[in-house]
Structure 1
């Protein structure tokens, strides 16, 4: 019989700065060797639960604890943070907050150095951990010069290098491209297969985590545990919809076709779900859908002509990039980590200048325009919110750009409150930003740009750290702006976002543009998917398993139907 390793009994926690508890009446036991996924919308308490397990509560986030939490049979409050770190290893959703070393190798080796591990043994362990997470080529790099995905892999390597009993992953997929995220889940699964390791994953991306089996899924809602079920039981219930969590797309497609999902169908993965009773309904639904209309011709608002750029001489990050963005388009830019996506956005905004080529806004060559001049018509939301935030409270940060432009106080307040409501932040308007989660900070930075009413809005990973409800609210608001004529460019690893909202997708790989087409065409082209570290959509896999002659067309009809349904 497996032993309990984490035991919550009638546990509650209230942050010092808050008026009510974030966690209430938690009763939860996790056993040795289990692999558990914790789900929940933003503010549900799932990250707070993780902080209790790894000791950040109460050692870093003080507050009032009631009830009992035992780690390996010992009360958590009786353990020091150092003692907890010997049992629990954590990969945080905000990797910048976890770096210690000046290089990747130093950062991975930090725990070993504290234990006085011999030099050669330490070198071997660091090399093995770096290879396991695919960061071995960057051991001498500064962690702060890495891409978001590379940072995440570095922190993962720092946890794997130490032999702890509990591995806690707080949104490990937040900054990873689809293929790397898939590899990360496979790596976590390999670790979780060891009977002496207990794995806890906190993540919004349910379908991506279920690429490999989990034993249980804990659903958090409003500070309480709403469900503790197997994946099959959860996917057969309405709990995901009730709590605002995105269900796997193949499940959505089956429901659109009128199919009922039950645990005995094994719905945990598109490769395991039984379809014998669903194929006829899928075909009937497919035949009822119409082919899409031809794309609308749009006047060019942004154009890149044969752009080259490199941070170092003779080492190009971008090579011969030419593309056009139409007025009022919603375009996604995708590709593997390090492909040059974020660099491209910085060139457009004027943070850097091309080595060759031109960037034009409505036919005007922007080479002579400063960042301030470009900011009048181009808004940019960075991938890492900590690199944008400069004020103490949510209201001050959102209003900062308007105050610089000398907007009258009353008008400023109206505009700030309106955008905070849309972004799901109005109730936090007077909060200190330091008290927000990573996802909430992300929404603050998006709000601070949206309030400026730019003509072109560039968002680097806009949905990172966002739950499904806030994702939908944010994207529907962006869609409203887009319908009003604002051009939206989204740099993303989120294949769902690309499918659901982008008119067109531009794919980068190794600094070059390799594709520019409809999302449905991109995600059903095996060569592009492989080269750019993308992922075939599960709707495409469902169509192939169901025996459709044109699975690409099935995907396209699903996307169009889903858009119409959400619009209604």
Structure 2
């Protein structure tokens, strides 16, 4: 008989600072050894649910509780945060905020040191866990030398080294990983689950990527309430995802657009297991044949030119002989594996780092020797980690800071800040302190602080990380409108659909070299480029092949055009 390990019984939680509850009448039971995926739009209560489980609510985030939350039969209100931490381990989305030790071994050993575990026992435990999470060859390495995927493995090891931990919480483990590394991370989590039988709970926006592994259940939250609690195949066959604006797997969305009847027993969880009946295949082909996307016009005026750029950290080459140009009004993605040099390239363009050789031109002017301040008047840069950009306590002050420094009038500052906050989905939080925001909301604040300045060219490092599908769409459509009005935009992204949908072409980096500069569709359908750059072929291409469509690339174009028109109705 299955043993309950987590029980929410008529559970309601309201922060002291708010008038309405964030979680409302939650009735959910999680059983020992289950693997559960938690979905929901921003503000649905996902993060608060996790905080309740790991003890941050109510011990750090104060509020009123009704009902009860039991972990292993114990009411959490009768436990302290230390006791809860011995049962529940949390792997944060921002892994940098979780590290304590100077190297991998020290960080994994931290909790054991606190418990005064003998050193010989500690070393054995650290080695065992390091092997389990496949980081054993980096035990003596500095945390800062690791890639994003390796840092995540260290975080997992740090919470698993205590054998008493029976519940592992993962907060958006895919958010900052390239597609191939993200796929590997999911496989690692699945293997840990199989070998340890620990209970896994995961929050993730990238549903299709999360479903690379099997989950026992999916729980969907919306406005603090559970709107679905059941098997993945039941969820995918329902209309729940569409109703709460969570992106469905793209292959499934294509079937629904074509009018196919979706049943739970069709193997919906993955494109490889999908069973498409002949009449459904016929409907998909007919839907595709109704219209075909025309090619986009090429932009004409060069805005940014990078010529023979080389850069080293000490003696290690990071970027080698990079050359490309960005046309006025283009929207271009920069993609590649973690550690390929994407963020470094952006820092060089903005002047945060100094190249060893090469030239950069902006609007025909050589800016190679310009200062950061001189470039900042024309180039806006949004960092991947919002905590690295924020310098004010209040949201309004943070977004207004650049305008204040440039001497704008108070009236114009207010008008531009209010409008930008509305576009970024932050207007209702305009008087909030930034410390009260989730990671995804902080991300929107940093994007707003750059958008409000209206630069000629904007570079965004993972702009949609941590965003639900509605805010993703609102943000990207706003950026597309800026682009339509002449603003040139570059994205560093691991989101393959963002690359396909919004960028005319993609610059692909691998091991410090530019390996492709082609249309997004050509990149994502080239298996050699996909493998070298740790990308992932879109399931839209795969389903087109599966049903026998003669031109899968054109099918991808058609879907993107059709899907964008449908989602435009949200605006």
Is this a same-fold pair by TM over 0.5? Answer: yes
Partner of 1:303: 305
> RMSD value over aligned CA atoms?
1.8
**Offset of residue 121 of structure 1:** 4.5
Per the alignment, do residues 490 and 122 of structure 1 end up closer, same or farther by CA in structure 2, a change over 3 Å counting?
Answer: same
**Offset of residue 64 of structure 1:** 1.7
Per the alignment, do residues 73 and 328 of structure 1 end up closer, same or farther by CA in structure 2, a change over 3 Å counting?
Answer: same
CA distance in 1: counterparts of 2:124 and 2:291, whole angstroms: 57
CA distance in 1: counterparts of 2:546 and 2:321, whole angstroms: 39
Q: Which runs of 5+ in 1 are unaligned?
A: none
3-state SS of 1:368 partner: coil
Per the alignment, do residues 480 and 219 of structure 1 end up closer, same or farther by CA in structure 2, a change over 3 Å counting?
Answer: same
Partner of 1:11: 11
Q: Is the 8 A contact 1:249 1:539 kept in 2?
A: yes
Per the alignment, do residues 471 and 86 of structure 1 end up closer, same or farther by CA in structure 2, a change over 3 Å counting?
Answer: same
Alignment of 1:526-545 (within 5 A): 526-545=527-546
**Offset of residue 326 of structure 1:** 0.8
CA distance in 1: counterparts of 2:518 and 2:445, whole angstroms: 32
Partner of 1:53: 53
Q: Is the 8 A contact 2:132 2:192 kept in 1?
A: no
3-state SS of 1:272 partner: coil
**Offset of residue 110 of structure 1:** 1.2
Per the alignment, do residues 546 and 256 of structure 1 end up closer, same or farther by CA in structure 2, a change over 3 Å counting?
Answer: same
Q: Is the 8 A contact 1:401 1:448 kept in 2?
A: yes
CA distance in 2: counterparts of 1:156 and 1:359, whole angstroms: 41
Q: Which runs of 5+ in 2 are unaligned?
A: none
CA distance in 2: counterparts of 1:165 and 1:376, whole angstroms: 52
Q: Is the 8 A contact 1:171 1:202 kept in 2?
A: yes
Partner of 2:39: 39
**Offset of residue 153 of structure 1:** 3.2
Q: Is the 8 A contact 1:32 1:195 kept in 2?
A: no
After TM superposition, the structure 1 stretch with the greater mean CA deviation from structure 2, 537-546 or 236-245, is: 537-546
Deviations 1:332-371 (A, max 9, x none): 1111111111001100110011101111111211122111
CA distance in 1: counterparts of 2:154 and 2:227, whole angstroms: 34
Q: Is the 8 A contact 1:12 1:65 kept in 2?
A: yes
Partner of 2:157: 157
Partner of 2:388: 387
**Offset of residue 555 of structure 1:** 2.4
Tell me if 1:214 matches 2:210: no
CA distance in 2: counterparts of 1:131 and 1:356, whole angstroms: 41
Aligned residue pairs total 567
Alignment of 1:174-253 (within 5 A): 174-194=175-195, 196-253=197-254
**Offset of residue 149 of structure 1:** 4.1
**Offset of residue 290 of structure 1:** 2.4
3-state SS of 2:219 partner: strand
Q: Is the 8 A contact 1:150 1:337 kept in 2?
A: no
Partner of 1:274: 275
Deviations 1:78-103 (A, max 9, x none): 12222111111110112232111122
CA distance in 2: counterparts of 1:150 and 1:396, whole angstroms: 36
3-state SS of 1:367 partner: coil
3-state SS of 2:316 partner: coil
CA distance in 2: counterparts of 1:416 and 1:385, whole angstroms: 18
3-state SS of 2:368 partner: helix
Alignment of 1:126-165 (within 5 A): 126-133=126-133, 135-136=135-136, 138-144=138-144, 146-163=146-163, 164-165=165-166
3-state SS of 1:212 partner: coil
After TM superposition, the structure 1 stretch with the greater mean CA deviation from structure 2, 5-14 or 442-451, is: 5-14
Per the alignment, do residues 124 and 422 of structure 1 end up closer, same or farther by CA in structure 2, a change over 3 Å counting?
Answer: same
Q: Is the 8 A contact 1:6 1:30 kept in 2?
A: yes
After TM superposition, the structure 1 stretch with the greater mean CA deviation from structure 2, 372-381 or 292-301, is: 292-301
Partner of 2:290: 288
Partner of 1:349: 350
CA distance in 1: counterparts of 2:499 and 2:15, whole angstroms: 37
**TM-score normalized with structure 1 length:** 0.96
Alignment of 1:99-498 (within 5 A): 99-133=99-133, 135-136=135-136, 138-144=138-144, 146-163=146-163, 164-194=165-195, 196-276=197-277, 277-290=279-292, 292-293=294-295, 295-312=297-314, 314-498=315-499
CA distance in 1: counterparts of 2:343 and 2:152, whole angstroms: 16
CA distance in 2: counterparts of 1:225 and 1:126, whole angstroms: 38
Partner of 2:21: 21
**Offset of residue 175 of structure 1:** 0.7
Q: Is the 8 A contact 1:133 1:184 kept in 2?
A: no
**Offset of residue 376 of structure 1:** 0.4
3-state SS of 2:27 partner: strand
Deviations 1:279-313 (A, max 9, x none): 1112222322325326413211011101011121x
